[in-house]
Amino acid sequence: RSRADKVRELASLIASASHLVVFTGAGISTSIGIPDFRGPDGVWTCQRRGTAMPKASMPFSQARPSYTHMALLALQRCGRLKYLCSQNVDCLHLRSGFPRDQMAELHGNCFAERCTRCGIEVLRDFEVPSVGFKPTGRSCPSCHGAMRD
């Protein structure tokens, strides 16, 4: 099937969906230079082959949402997309403007910290040490509680 046929089929599925939920993975960010995991030159593929790990073409902190991120935001804003599940930790869905309360980041977010006391989330312009819910040593800007990544 041609690309045009696939696009028409996708548009038809979106138009006929009564409750559209989208699940994204690393492939959504490859067009802006962030490596994926399972592709021909993905992180895990290179590990299995014993070859050098792929490099991002820019630091995560400088990455901006792709056209696909923005298309998903447009679908959300017009009421078609009800919820987004993402495996990505790159923060690009949130940077696109996608509402936090309509998405789940299944593997965390390497730019987010959360206060252990009041629960506020703070998005940083730098990568936090991990996504393992570890103390960062910073204090909450709202209540001065301890922040975790």
Rounded to whole angstroms, the Cα distance separating 18 from 31 reads 30
Which of 113, 118, 119 is CA-nearest to residue 135? 113
Q: Is 107 a catalytic residue?
A: yes
Q: Of 48, 42, 137, 28, which is closest to residue 89 (Cα–Cα)?
A: 28
CA 100 distance to own-chain centroid: 11
Q: Which helix (H) or strand (E) segment is 14 a member of?
A: helix 3-16
Indicate the SS3 state at residue 140.
coil
Active-site entry in 19, 93, 107, 144: 107
Cβ-based neighbours of 117, under 8 Å, separated by 6 or more = 140, 143, 144, 145, 146
Run of H or E including 71:
helix 67-77
Give the catalytic positions in this structure.
107
